[in-house]
Chains A and B, each alone.
Chain A
Amino acid sequence: MFALVRVVAQRLGLGVLVLFAVSLIIFLGVELLPGDLCEEIQGQAATPETVAACRKELGLDKPAVTRYLGWLGDISKGDFGRSLANQREISELIGVRLSNTLFLALVAAAISVPLALVLGILAALYRNTWYDRAVNVVTLSSISFPEFFVAYILILFLAVKASVFPSLSNVSPDTEFWERVYRVMLPAITLTLVVVAHMMRMTRASIINLLASPYIEMANLKGMTRSHIIVHHALPNAWAPIVNVIVINLAYLIVGVVVVEVVFIYPGLGQLIVDSVQKRDIPVVQACSLIFAATYVILNLTADILSIVTNPRLLHPR
């Protein structure tokens, strides 16, 4: 057990380290601006005096290390600073949108994870049959589609031609739960279509890899039934790869929402970051990037740790 705890602790430590490195990169990125933030804000109207005043106000006259530590300290208290575009508290802007984005990702995950696992395991078990080949071609194609292509096709057929779902997913904080689910259905299906292909191909590959192991052949030669082999011999060893597949794709979902949110004009974090990039509202872009990156890092870390704790070699050391 000690070995296990040590390895997990190592990974957690590493994860924290990565988060720091990521925050540093996001912070330093802005330092690379030709000129600085104040010249950026004031644009044509900049005079040396106003720029200097602005620098003082934003603390840009202090050394970079001090500013970085201050920035990090503020963020840990939930204070991301103010938007350049409208002077609002960024944390206020982000709050509702983050929960909207997570909601959309969760709905998509709730549909796509079970679907992908079932399809992937079936493709692995019925390998090289017409089902497997058809699935291969279909998933290869759907991986190749840009998200907005899928999204507009769905809008065309499910919103315009047959008015099953709304083409715009406008929700507000007081929209009730089922209404919310109904409104995010099209973006959720879009995300599902994109992510299911990936997830099921990965599931299929890891299950086939597993079924090729000598201990599965041994179980066959011991005369075990097919269902016993799958449940007792394949499944306990399949958790690690499958969990990995799921988590990696959840991370992909969170990031993949950006384009989909824009298509469906859904008030999430992705739309905010795109708007802010267009307005060059740097503090907001920084904040959103940090949140996306942190989610991504944490999910990948989770996958890592889950695959460690399901490894019998670490669970039962010599």
Chain B
Amino acid sequence: MTSKASGKKIGELLLEMRDLRIDGQSDEEWHPIIKGIDVVLHRGEVLGLIGESGAGKSTAGLAAMGFARPGCRISGGSIVFDGIDLVAASEEERRKLRGVRIAYVAQSAAASFNPAHRLIDQFAELPVQHGKSSRGEAEADAKDLYRRLLLPDPDNIGYRYPHQVSGGQLQRAMTAMALACRPDLIIFDEPTTALDVTTQIEVLVTIRDIVDQFNTAAIYITHDLAVVAQMADRIMVLRYGELVEENVTHAMMSDPQEDYTKTLWAVRSFQKQHAAKPEVSPLIKVDHVTAGYGPVMVLDDISFEIHHGQTVGVVGESGSGKSTAARVITGLLPPRQGQVLVNGQPLPGDYRKRSKSQLRHAQMIYQMADTAVNPRHRIRDIIGRPLAFYLDMKGDKLENRIRELLNLIELEPDQFIDRFPGELSGGQKQRICIARALAAEPEFIICDEVTSALDQIVAEGILKLLDRLQRELELSYMFITHDLATIRAIADDVIVMLEGRIVEQGPTKEMFTPPHHEYTDLLLSSVPEMDPTWLDRLMETRRTEGVMASASTS
């Protein structure tokens, strides 16, 4: 990509991995994780490794350092870094390369910093232990890098302990640490996955600037296409430990060749047909609700309505109170003030005081399908229980209804009815959760981040299914997510939450066209787009408008 390559030269060959094979151990047997891939990287080049969970991207990234996690082994192929064969090299030779010529930035900075030492100590030990510079020089360099990575109070922040610093700052401090010995290659392993979108963008910008400034080669590992499009010169798509496709970024983004890659790219195409809002009274009315845990206030005077057959999307970053709003509606957290009305009738605040039919009419689908179904129950029992519990179904009637529901969620009844959840994939489990919710014959379903834990194609399938069910069964959804693309695809109305308040609400179409509330604007503009020039354009606008200044203090 020219915009990223600007000001730096892609030089000679730096890293070459040929027919790389890595095995992982489970149950005392070795299984292949990486099944023979070739990775070639030149000086100054940024390579994006992309794939869904389990594709083997982290394992491949670590192999570039000649490192295999405990329980893994490099079983074949060659890894040559700048003329040094890392497979044949002794552990001591590899150790001397790590941190000095090849550095690593981990996904969770909070866990990867030693809690017992200050940030600057962990920075300084790199050059000092490797005999590159004195402690004093290292500290001065650390402060300089902290400044260049836009950390607040760069002269003093290093003297803090990891738990005293926020997540986004820690991630930048870790990038600074990776740069301590001015390595030739840095491996970024999902460095922004654990961060909120508005924080993610700061880290992305600083990582990219620093890679440019030092002309460092990098392997950028992520599952997020839009992110990798901003960061990489070249992209490799991995799946099940094999290479699917490889190309320079702009070609890859504009013209993917393989079917699998195309489906990845096509993911965000789904768009719900908006139905007209019925003019009758709302199904759910959340009326001036204030709620919290102990002394902590999480929701502050929240009001909104959900109409029959409509989807309300609730969006916000972690800690915005969007899940708490769902807990108030379900009765898990009784409100301090205000109330929730269903068809104009107030609901008891505590779910234990609600009648069976009140409980039946509001169902819930969770983010983690893994933990939302009991792993020791068969599919038959999971879907059958609400039928037996609410509708007193027994025998053949019960069996037939379970099969009907499985058909409805597009799973073959004969094949699935006697399985345990452990024998299903993530998407299939989420479908079972949908079937369980439908079994209660509800009017209203709360979907709490239901697609966040799923790979993109699977998520797309779930969204389509939910949309179809809504049309067929006239369901209302409250759709909670941090992902604006999902909201745009599925919601009729949007509610934007920040720190327990609603900052903006309205029909989806209006919300995605300016003018926005200031925070909505920040949130909207921070969501990475597929266009490889997006980050550059955004930074340009923010620089002129001065939005970044307020964002970087968070």
Contact = CB atoms under 8 A, between A and B. Distances in A.
B116 A228 contact: no
A161 interface: no
A146 interface: no
Most A-side CB within 10 Å, residue of B115, B130, B163, B177: B115
A316 to B, nearest CB: 5
A236 B116 contact: yes
A218 B163 contact: no
Given A223-B126, A225-B95, 7 more contacts: A215-B111, A218-B113, A223-B98, A236-B116, A312-B115, A312-B163, A316-B160
B164 interface: yes
Given A221-B98, A223-B99, A312 B111 contact: no
9 contacts: A221-B67, A221-B103, A222-B125, A223-B99, A223-B126, A233-B114, A236-B116, A236-B117, A316-B164
B352 interface: no
Interface residues of A, number: 23
Contacts of B108: 214
B100 A223 contact: yes
Given A217-B69, A218-B106, A223 B130 contact: yes
Looking at chain A's contact residues, the main secondary structure is: helix
Given A221-B99, A224-B99, A215 B163 contact: no
B: interface residue count bin: 20 to 34
Nearest to B104: A221
A129 B97 CA distance: 28
Interface in A167-226: 212-215, 217-225
Given A224-B125, A224-B129, A232-B125, A313 B95 contact: no
B360 to A, nearest CB: 44
A237 interface: yes
Contact of B115 (A217, A228, A237, A318): A237
B106 A214 contact: yes
B356 interface: no
B480 interface: no
Given A217-B112, A233-B114, A222 B126 contact: yes
Contacts of A224: 95, 99, 125, 129
A218 B180 CA distance: 14
Contacts of B67: 220-221
Contact of A318 (B99, B100, B114, B164): B164
A313 B115 contact: yes
Contacts of B130: 223
Nearest to B189: A221
B65 interface: yes
Nearest to A236: B116
Given A236-B117, A318-B164, A218 B112 contact: yes
Contacts of A313: 115, 161, 163
B125 A214 contact: no
A207 to B, nearest CB: 14
Contacts of A312: 115-116, 161, 163
A316 B125 CA distance: 21
A318 B163 contact: yes
A222 B121 CA distance: 13
Given A221-B99, A312-B161, A215 B126 contact: no
B112 A215 contact: yes
B96 interface: yes
A215 B104 contact: no
Interface in B53-81: 62, 65, 67, 69-70
Interface string B22-61: 0000000000000000000000000000000000000000
A237 B115 CA distance: 8
Contacts of A220: 67, 98
Interface string B435-458: 000000000000000000000000
A308 B10 CA distance: 52
Contacts of A213: 111
Contacts of B106: 214, 217-218
A218 B104 contact: yes
Nearest to A213: B111
B112 A214 contact: yes
Interface in B129-168: 129-130, 160-161, 163-164
B120 to A, nearest CB: 14
Contacts of A237: 114-116
Contacts of B103: 221-222
Contact of A223 (B70, B97, B112, B116): B97
A232 B69 CA distance: 21
Residue among A215, A224, A236, A317 facing the most chain B CB atoms (10 A cut-off): A215
B331 to A, nearest CB: 34
Interface in B75-111: 95-100, 103-104, 106, 108, 111
Interface string B391-427: 0000000000000000000000000000000000000
B114 A219 contact: yes
A214 B111 contact: yes
Nearest to B91: A226
Contacts of B98: 220-223
A220 B104 CA distance: 10
Given A312-B161, A316-B164, A215 B113 contact: yes
Contacts of A215: 111-115
